[in-house]
Structure 1
């Protein structure tokens, strides 16, 4: 474990619409909404995930490897004012994230295959990405698209999110395409509940979401979208 990174707990669950309404109703009086939400109490997330020539990230997840990383470019509400290149790190039951902001021009260059633009020795994440792209053929693989309803609590630094309408784009890599023909990647009745926290979850929040009664899942949106493409296109891995 890299001691310089901030690792957090992350729990994921599949819940149905009925469970969503019950849990959300309880949380509304206990937690605050994230300050980034719009009028609907939600925001839209679209990520472009990368993998190497051997699909290492995909196969490690499917193979149950506990320590692994994923790379992605993430935007919000299909806008280009905030664009991040991110590395998500999984270590045992902990997660950490390293990210760097990028410009729209840098995004366009990377998508066009000009990874030399990331050759910046003073930015370790860019250098790591540059080496992965140059030597392991790290390339865009799939778009992951969903709507998030987030709640936060300073005690324990708890963040609970409901991720809805998980979709992916067939053969698509342009995350700024407002006309992206995104298609459902999971059953429309399912919502992904994510619970993230530092050291502990306050007991009143644990009781409100009835944590022990939920069915914990290994719910990787990246893998779900890749699997959807495999079974609905000619993609092979």
Structure 2
């Protein structure tokens, strides 16, 4: 359909959802918007209670897909991920399209998808990767991202710090980097310097600058994929289908990524919202018995590259023994303690903060 079904009035589920018996439980907390200033929330969050009789909220005006409020650089939402086979994916998409519109930024140029190019940062010991595997409740990740629309110049680059608490995601800092500025930076320093970039934008990253100076973050993995987005302008709901996900270990955000570096043969279905999902979308989950997954494109790419024996040389880095370990501060607003287990013969385990990973 090319327009929202006028005879359907989507209703919002209660915070706790009961999926089909064959699916994993989908647990949703109460609205993360409660008690927060609108200045700290995504524009979608502010309009989540808009009455259907009012004009739909204006779409982001940046002229780019997946646009978010970049000043002051905070957006809060809940994200759920599911896996669908290439065979079932078209049927899921058709059901979603009955209730949602294609993202106007994509349909305006006669396309149905765009390319997302993301360079992830980590420490030399892959603290971000390892911390996600440890199951930390609060995690953060630094990434450099841009969007490439068919037939149009690519968007600016966006350097982001994202935090995640269970299913809730919060962007705690974001700066826009024009392509010319980034290329000049690479020519001058030969590689991305996180500290120099942040020093040039202290107002956005002032709360994180000391920690980032102490953390040896470096460009680690480039992830490229195609995203097919659907939106409902009457609700804070966005459903995307990510496919052809491929990765390469590099510090160059412009490096071409061959199709042979694809890490998944399936489609990742992401549902992004503020308070809850409508009943019709819950029915889609039940109809196709979609199983929720805690997939991280970054972590999957790290494992695929070492498992395939390409890219990085030698074994995957492991954390150093506590006697030699640095106390890497967390890049984010919450400091977590963790019990480290030392190898035989090393010092006793110790508690210390660490940086952690956020689902891509």
Give me the TM-score of the superposition, normalised by structure 2: 0.59
Of 93, 96, 106, the match for 1:27: 96
- Checking the alignment, whether the CA contact within 8 Å between 1:118 and 1:127 is kept in structure 2 is no
> Which of 172, 179, 190 is the equivalent residue of 1:104?
179
For residues 119 and 223 of structure 2, the distance between their equivalents in structure 1, rounded to whole angstroms, comes to 6
Query: Contact 1:44–1:146 at 8 Å: present in 2 too?
Result: yes
Q: Secondary structure at 2:174's aligned position in 1?
A: strand
Q: Whole-Å Cα distance in 1 between the matches of residues 104 and 123 of structure 2?
A: 35
Counterpart CA distance in 2 for 1:63 and 1:182 is: 31
Question: In the alignment, what sits opposite 1:90?
Answer: 164
Q: 2:205 aligns with which of 116, 120, 125?
A: 125
Q: 1:210 aligns with which of 286, 290, 306?
A: 286
Q: Partner residue of 2:77?
A: 8
**Structure with the largest fraction of helix:** 1
Higher strand share: 1
More relative contact order, 1 or 2 (CA 8 Å, 6+ apart): 1
Are 2:117 and 2:225, in contact at CA under 8 Å, matched by a contact in 1? yes
Does 1:184 find its partner at 2:264?
no
Query: Counterpart in 2 of 1:223?
Result: 299
CA distance in 1 between counterparts of 2:113 and 2:225 reads 10
| Shift in CA distance, 126/181, structure 1 to aligned 2, threshold 3 Å | farther
Q: Residues of 2 paired with 1:16 and 1:135: CA distance?
A: 43
How many Å separate the matches in 2 of 1:132 and 1:138?
A: 10
For residues 276 and 212 of structure 2, what CA distance do their matches in structure 1 show?
Answer: 38
Find the residue that maps to 2:146 and give its secondary structure.
strand
> Does structure 1 conserve the Cα–Cα contact (< 8 Å) formed by 2:247 and 2:257?
no
The CA distance in 1 between the partners of 2:226 and 2:138, in whole Å, is 27
Match of 1:36 in 2: 105
Shift of 1:131: 4.0
1:66 corresponds to: 137
Aligned to 2:241: 162
Shift of 1:100: 1.2
Cα RMSD (Å) of the superposition?
2.6
> Match of 2:252?
174
Structure 2: give runs of 5+ residues left out of the alignment.
1-31, 41-73, 318-360
Instruction: Tell me which moved more, 98-107 or 9-18.
Output: 98-107
Q: Secondary structure at the match of 2:253?
A: coil
Rate the CA distance shift 1:134–1:113 in 2: closer, same or farther, 3 A.
farther
CA deviation digits over 1:80-136, x for unaligned, max 9? 5421001121012211223210123443426624442431464232773x5455321
> For residues 184-236 of structure 1, what are the alpha-carbon distances to aligned partners after superposition, in whole Å with 9 as ceiling and x for unaligned?
34332x11010111102111222234389311111100101111111123252
Match of 1:51 among 106, 111, 122: 122
5+ long unaligned stretches in structure 1: none
Aligned residue for 2:87, secondary structure, equals: helix
Task: For residue 124 of structure 1, give the secondary structure of its aligned residue in structure 2.
Answer: helix
